[in-house]
């Protein structure tokens, strides 16, 4: 089975691209959503996060994402510590998911920091999704309702598109219509399905 990664900066359209692959029948593992779920339900993660980021990390047993985000997006060391807590559990979860989807011709693993975490090394191909800065900011504002300063901080804390593209087997430019985006996805799908 071919394991294909999808990554890109915040607001690039990774999830939209993944959804298009899913509509074509490809199983998709959303690392970021699974990480959020595991951070909410996995006891080993909860204990480590509370120890590292304080009891305010969970309010009424619910992950306090704004508290965590405020810390990690201003402190690179804290971001690395959070990733070190969460990523090994996500890796195990992904491997279990792979076994459940072993009949698929290929699968997609979507993750924002696939290159930074080294997770791309476990995959056969990598798709990088890019969007121009203005487009990213527009989409992030619509989706997350963040201030421009917070958006800029998050973009700044990620790899540049230029660096990310160096790891890519396929690059999707998400700066035009959904129709064109679907055509790019279909073109890659046809190359991977053979």
4-45 pLDDT tens trace: 999 999 999 999 999 999 999 999 999 999 999 999 999 999
- Predicted confidence at residue 72, as pLDDT, reads 87
Mean pLDDT, rounded, for 51-77: 91
- Predicted confidence at residue 191, as pLDDT, reads 96
Q: What is the mean pLDDT of the chain?
A: 93
190 compared with 70, residue with greater pLDDT: 190
For the stretch 92-108, pLDDT in tens is 999 999 999 999 999 99
- Predicted confidence at residue 156, as pLDDT, reads 81
Considering the entire predicted model, what is its pTM? Answer: 0.88
Residue 172 — pLDDT band, cuts 50, 70, 90?
A: very high
CA distances to 47, 97, 160, 175, 191 from 164, rounded to whole Å, are 33, 26, 6, 17, 21
CB 129 within 8 A of CB 34: no
Mean pLDDT, rounded, for 178-187: 96
Q: Which domains does the chain have, with CATH numbers?
A: 2-27+101-192 (3.40.50.300), 33-86 (no CATH)
Span of 10-14, 85-89, 90-94, 133-137 with lowest mean pLDDT: 133-137
């Amino acid at each position: 089975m071919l394991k294909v990664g999808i990554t890109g900066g915040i607001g690039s359209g990774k999830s939209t691209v993944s959804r298009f692959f899913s509509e074509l029948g490809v199983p998709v593992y959303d690392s970021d959503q699974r990480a959020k779920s595991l951070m909410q339900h996995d006891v080993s993660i909860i204990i480590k996060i509370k120890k590292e980021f304080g009891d305010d990390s969970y309010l009424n047993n619910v992950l306090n994402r704004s508290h965590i985000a405020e810390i990690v997006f201003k402190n690179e060391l804290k971001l690395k510590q959070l990733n070190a807590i969460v990523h090994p559990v996500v890796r195990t979860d992904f491997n279990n998911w792979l076994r459940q989807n072993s009949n698929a011709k290929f699968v997609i693993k979507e993750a924002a920091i696939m290159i930074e975490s080294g997770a791309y090394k476990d995959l056969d191909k990598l798709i990088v999704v890019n969007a121009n800065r203005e487009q990213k900011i527009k989409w992030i504002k619509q989706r997350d309702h963040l201030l421009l300063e917070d958006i800029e901080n998050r973009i700044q804390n990620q790899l540049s598109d230029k660096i990310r593209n160096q790891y890519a087997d396929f690059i999707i430019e998400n700066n035009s219509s959904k129709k064109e985006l679907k055509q790019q996805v279909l073109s890659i799908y046809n190359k991977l399905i053979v």
